[in-house]
Structure 1
Amino acid sequence: MIAFVLLIFTVALIYFVAVKPYKYWSNRRVKTGKFVPIFGNNAGVVLGTESFADTTRRIYNEVQDVRYYGVYQFQLPSLVLKSPELIKQICVKDFDHFLNHKNALGGDVDELWSKNLFTLKGQSWKDMRSILSPSFTSSKMKAMFTYICQNADLFAKHFIKMKGDVIEVEFKDAFTRYTNDVIASTAFGINKFVFSLNLFCPAIANFLGLSPFGKELRSFFVNLVKDTIKLREENNIRRADMLGLLMEARKGTQIEETTEETIEVNFAAVEEHLEERNTKRELSELDIASQVFIFFLGGFESVSNAMCFMAHELAVNVDVQMKLIQEIDENRNEDGVLSYETIANLAYLDMVVSESLRKWPVAVFTDRMVTKPYTIKPELPDEMPLSLEVGDQVIVPIIGLHYDTKYFENPEKFIPERFSPENRKNINPYTYLPFGVGPRNCIGSRFALLEIKAVFFHILSHFEIVPVEKTNIPLQISEKSFNFTSVNGFPLGLKRRQKRI
């Protein structure tokens, strides 16, 4: 009798854990690709046999001739959007039905994380975005460019002082040091298991009190921001850096903008969708610390990775690099000082950055959560109305779109000319999404692009980037790392250029 009860219990457990959850999409007549019970479509990622990028590309290509298809993140059903028109409809036109991101990293575990712009939800997100948006206009970036350029110049000079005609560099480490100060570059260590648990099972992470960021890090970072704010306020220090702009936003004032706008060649930069409006919400020191924290975190991983991939592409595409060096030489002052107007109008540099972000986007996918019930109306012959409920998740497979031959011919090749002025008009904006899409796109895209462009301008003014013995050609994407990175890092060489005559 006991054995029979155990058998019934086991069968029931298997059904409710490994069978029933995976009927969700078939019951709705939504096509799916291959998945593994318990793990869903993430088995390769969890087991370390497939990177997130490869998983996204694989499931994107598994299901053809559809506008959307179903996947499972463990037991969580998610709807992947393939149609650029549907992406525009959901992420822009009907955005009020899809306001939020998934509760990434168990948002309530850590206040420093839960208050940042990426994690905030609903009206709280709208208020914070409205407060922060004026701090990321092109004119504000122009004010901050001096600080970015100083770091880029020091970065190049560090290697100029070294001996040898070719200096071997691990670019991941080097660019991390460029994008962050020493504290940020050494403190932000993320445990992969805890990160994954927070990402896919936030309820369990909350119950166990597991935060991907240690208490010491949180306390240190919050106190650092508080102390810096206090120092600046007591000494009436105003700087047009990130913290300074946030302090001005807190007081309801803004550092003066220049009246003359600079025309930018910045194809990858995203536009602001929300209208500016006055809000009574005041930024606390924790609010400011949380925003600064997410910008540091983004710079630590996403932007430095983007730089690494671009450096590799230049090293293995010599013709592209030589053409870029020629443009830089033609626009470089004798004193080596780089102006905002110059960097904003380097057409070929922007083409190279845009193509690099196509092949190696900052995020391989983005998501939205349903905040109001929504129905996707049928358009294809085999479609039925698909009702989405509050809490359902939709995914935009950015890297899948970037490698779709319908939108980008020979997607594996590095071809900056795709983004030439005459070709840009042929690119559907909802197939090229390196910084996300719609009102919840990356607010710091202009800042990130300035960081990238400034450092390559200064590097290529003095060096060529060349492969070395340890360089992997072609690149092998790591299947063990949670982040989008290379198996053996990014070892490359800086070959001194002959002095210009």
Structure 2
Amino acid sequence: MKLFMLGTTTSICSVFILFILLLRIYTYWYRKKVKTGHVTPIFGDTLYVLLGIESFPEMIQKIYNKSQDIRYIGTYQLHMPLLLIRSPELIKEMCVRDFDHFLDHRPMINEDLDKLWAKNLSSLKGNSWKKSRSAFSPSFTGSKLKSMLPSTCRAAESFVQYFLSRVGDVVEVDCKDIYSRYVTNSVASLIYGIQTDSLVDQTNEFHYMGREASGVNNMKKRIVLFLHQLFPEIAKFFQMSFFGKEIDDFFINIVKHKMKLLEEENMKQTDIVGLLLEARMGQDTLAEETDQTHAVENRVKGKDIHQYLTDIDIASQAFVYFNASYETISSTLSFMSYELAVNPEIQNKLIQEIDNNKDLTQNFDAVMEMPYLDMVISETLRKWPNTPATDRFVTKPYTIQPTLPGEEPVHLEIGDNILVPIFALHRDPKYYADPERFDPERFSPENRKNINPFAYLPFGVGPRRCLGMRFALLQIKVAFIHILSKFEIVPVEKTDIPLKISRLSLTLTSGESLTLGLKKRIQR
């Protein structure tokens, strides 16, 4: 009986302690006098995402829409509190003007377990991020991007010729698959100097590694990612690597092999990894392309910043360029293809612009400045931003001062997290009339000036925004110039209308497949 009573008492105490702990966790924003919606204990706001009932972008939008007249709202990812910022003006204030209080992203993956992730710009913090940003920024200067155009065009031409050779007037394609292969071919060459043909060689190793590395649709990887973010000690104890040794070794060995070639053959490099390795060796090809501001930033105690880069530093950043391109560019190409297929009047107008400029497709400035092409891509990124939200980690205490009736000062402490809800801002009728409608005219030269720049954030915000933005836009523009010069994109019987988005991915992607038709144009 005593043992039974002791066991019962222990159980009651354990339940009471758990209750107090959960109460402490899930009243975090209440104690700071920040409004929250209904929160499920243990799961926070993420229960339906974990169950696959709603997507991560849908969850962000649901939280954002809980209240229309507030600048911020408290949310919880499992047991982690985050402050979701609803006001573009407050986003500007926190992520630009007061950026030094929000220098870092919150840790995503344990750097001791994933070497490839440890040294990239997304995960680096403080001064390490500042130094590396200065070192990597010259990779995407105007002159560097211009030098990429011929290789990008070759990849697009090869892509188009592959489908022109297929039998039939309309070629059915899985957009997610074919565009990931196009990106593999183009970006592997530009970043690593490696030529691949993932369309012809369906088992191409580079494409396989890219698919495996970006596979957050994989349930196992989603669980590992959540553990890394929310229970890092558990992930570390069980040595739960997100990318895995096979992927780490593959991309690191490419850099080591290129370094060996540089030392033995002294070959001139044109790809990004080769240029970074040359710069580290003192040949400084990249530094020559950098403006005076970067030149000053690139000096640390009299020594060029590139000389601090290790093989792992370069491999890590190159991998993130490749991985982000694989996911972001292929996803944007898929969504834009869908919108053109279901909006033929928009597609016809774009085809007309491309036909009128076909003699200028090898001209970098002409490619980047086609006005209607730019409008269509901008609207695609508005409606379908690959990254539904971005975050910041509080690195210095910060107080949000009250400006609206009923607000009180919100004191953020070091280690708190804020969330910028990109997808929800892009779908807010306050900033975009009829936001579900695909309307490139929003981004016409006359209308673009009316868009709040902090309510349009497809590549992030502030100094931490995507370094490869113009690189991605170049890939997307060249792809569509070549595709639409030979094909119309049309719906087919298998096309899901309206489009379904994946509930398994943490980024914004279409469902399991996105099937469309490439209809061969009659060439005159």
Normalising by structure 2, we get a TM-score of: 0.89
Q: What's the counterpart of residue 266 of structure 1?
A: none
Q: What's the counterpart of residue 145 of structure 1?
A: 149
Q: What's the counterpart of residue 489 of structure 1?
A: 513
* Alpha-carbon contact 1:31-1:63 (below 8 Å) kept: no
Residues 257 and 417 from structure 1, CA distance in 2 versus in 1: closer, same or farther, beyond 3 angstroms? Answer: farther
* Alpha-carbon contact 1:168-1:494 (below 8 Å) kept: yes
**What is the alpha-carbon distance in structure 2 between the residues aligned to residue 256 and residue 23 of structure 1?**
51
Gaps of 5+ in 1: 262-271
* Structure with the higher helix share, 1 or 2: 2
Greater alpha carbon shift after TM alignment, 34-43 vs 11-20: 11-20
**What is the alpha-carbon distance in structure 2 between the residues aligned to residue 364 and residue 176 of structure 1?**
20
User: Out of 239, 246, 252, which is 1:222 matched to?
Assistant: 252
Residues 327 and 273 from structure 1, CA distance in 2 versus in 1: closer, same or farther, beyond 3 angstroms? Answer: farther
**What is the alpha-carbon distance in structure 2 between the residues aligned to residue 16 and residue 475 of structure 1?**
44
Residues 398 and 22 from structure 1, CA distance in 2 versus in 1: closer, same or farther, beyond 3 angstroms? Answer: same
User: Out of 490, 493, 498, which is 1:466 matched to?
Assistant: 490
Residues 113 and 274 from structure 1, CA distance in 2 versus in 1: closer, same or farther, beyond 3 angstroms? Answer: farther
Greater alpha carbon shift after TM alignment, 463-472 vs 191-200: 191-200
**What is the alpha-carbon distance in structure 1 between the residues aligned to residue 512 and residue 117 of structure 2?**
30
Q: What's the counterpart of residue 364 of structure 1?
A: 388
How far 1:273 sits from its partner (Å)? 11
Q: What's the counterpart of residue 136 of structure 1?
A: 140
Gaps of 5+ in 2: 186-203, 216-220
Residues 380 and 241 from structure 1, CA distance in 2 versus in 1: closer, same or farther, beyond 3 angstroms? Answer: same
Spell out, residue by residue over 1:317-343, the C-alpha distance to the aligned partner (whole angstroms, 9 max, x if none).
11110000000000002xx85321221
**What is the alpha-carbon distance in structure 1 between the residues aligned to residue 77 and residue 406 of structure 2?**
25
Q: What's the counterpart of residue 167 of structure 2?
A: 163
How far 1:256 sits from its partner (Å)? 8.4
Q: Could you say what secondary structure the match of 1:426 adopts?
A: coil
Alignment of 1:173 onto 2:197: no
Greater alpha carbon shift after TM alignment, 385-394 vs 7-16: 7-16
Q: What's the counterpart of residue 319 of structure 1?
A: 345
Alignment of 1:381 onto 2:409: no
Q: What's the counterpart of residue 54 of structure 1?
A: 58
Residues 352 and 275 from structure 1, CA distance in 2 versus in 1: closer, same or farther, beyond 3 angstroms? Answer: farther
**What is the alpha-carbon distance in structure 2 between the residues aligned to residue 4 and residue 232 of structure 1?**
70
RMSD, aligned α-carbons: 2.1
Q: What's the counterpart of residue 98 of structure 2?
A: 94
Q: What's the counterpart of residue 273 of structure 2?
A: 243
Q: What's the counterpart of residue 186 of structure 1?
A: 208
Spell out, residue by residue over 1:237-277, the C-alpha distance to the aligned partner (whole angstroms, 9 max, x if none).
22332213322442451258789x9xxxxxxxxxx999844
Q: What's the counterpart of residue 285 of structure 2?
A: 254
Q: Which amino acid is the alignment partner of residue 228 of structure 2?
A: N
Residues 276 and 311 from structure 1, CA distance in 2 versus in 1: closer, same or farther, beyond 3 angstroms? Answer: farther
**What is the alpha-carbon distance in structure 1 between the residues aligned to residue 497 and residue 17 of structure 2?**
48
Q: What's the counterpart of residue 267 of structure 1?
A: none
Residues 3 and 255 from structure 1, CA distance in 2 versus in 1: closer, same or farther, beyond 3 angstroms? Answer: closer
Instruction: Provide the aligned length of Structure 1 versus Structure 2.
Output: 487
**What is the alpha-carbon distance in structure 1 between the residues aligned to residue 462 and residue 275 of structure 2?**
24
**What is the alpha-carbon distance in structure 1 between the residues aligned to residue 266 and residue 503 of structure 2?**
49
**What is the alpha-carbon distance in structure 2 between the residues aligned to residue 245 and residue 417 of structure 1?**
40
* Alpha-carbon contact 1:240-1:255 (below 8 Å) kept: no
Residues 209 and 274 from structure 1, CA distance in 2 versus in 1: closer, same or farther, beyond 3 angstroms? Answer: farther
* Alpha-carbon contact 2:382-2:458 (below 8 Å) kept: yes
* Alpha-carbon contact 2:107-2:123 (below 8 Å) kept: yes
Normalising by structure 1, we get a TM-score of: 0.93
Q: Which amino acid is the alignment partner of residue 484 of structure 1?
A: L
* Alpha-carbon contact 1:104-1:202 (below 8 Å) kept: no
Greater alpha carbon shift after TM alignment, 435-444 vs 378-387: 378-387
1:7-46 alignment runs, 5 A limit: 7-46=11-50
* Alpha-carbon contact 2:32-2:411 (below 8 Å) kept: no
**What is the alpha-carbon distance in structure 2 between the residues aligned to residue 257 and residue 424 of structure 1?**
35
How far 1:64 sits from its partner (Å)? 2.0
**What is the alpha-carbon distance in structure 1 between the residues aligned to residue 24 and residue 356 of structure 2?**
64
**What is the alpha-carbon distance in structure 2 between the residues aligned to residue 394 and residue 482 of structure 1?**
17
How far 1:223 sits from its partner (Å)? 1.0
